[in-house]
Amino acid sequence: MTTDREAKRNDKRSLSASVEEILTDRQRDLPVWVRAPKRGYEFYSGCSRAKLYEWAGKGFIRSVSIREPGKIKGVRLFHLASTLEFIERCETGAKSISNTNASSPNCE
């Protein structure tokens, strides 16, 4: 027979195991494509709509416009991995720039 203390310890262990499992799944199961937010910031990258469109226009990240034939409106999707890779390149570039005092051509 278990006491209340033992039961609480087991609950805490199972809770922390489930939190770890959820966090691991969250990191593994990122979407491939994301939409730009109507307002605010995109959930996974933290980028605004304007910044996503700017970077896609300059060719820094991948994006695709999906529209049915004959339709005026469609949807623009942004490749999340390319967005995160671009942010990482900017971070790496910023670290090396601070050491050499040069400017980065791609990151603003």
Q: Stretch 3-14: mean pLDDT, rounded?
A: 53
Q: What is the pLDDT of residue 18?
A: 60
Q: Is residue 74 part of a domain?
A: yes
Q: Is residue 22 part of a domain?
A: no
Q: Is residue 1 part of a domain?
A: no
Least confident segment among 21-25, 52-56, 81-85: 21-25
Structurally, how many domains does the chain consist of?
1
Q: Is residue 30 part of a domain?
A: no
Asked if residues 37 and 53 have their Cβ atoms less than 8 Å apart, the reply is no
Tell me: pLDDT of 104 over 90.
Answer: no
| pTM score of the predicted model | 0.64
Q: Stretch 66-78: mean pLDDT, rounded?
A: 95
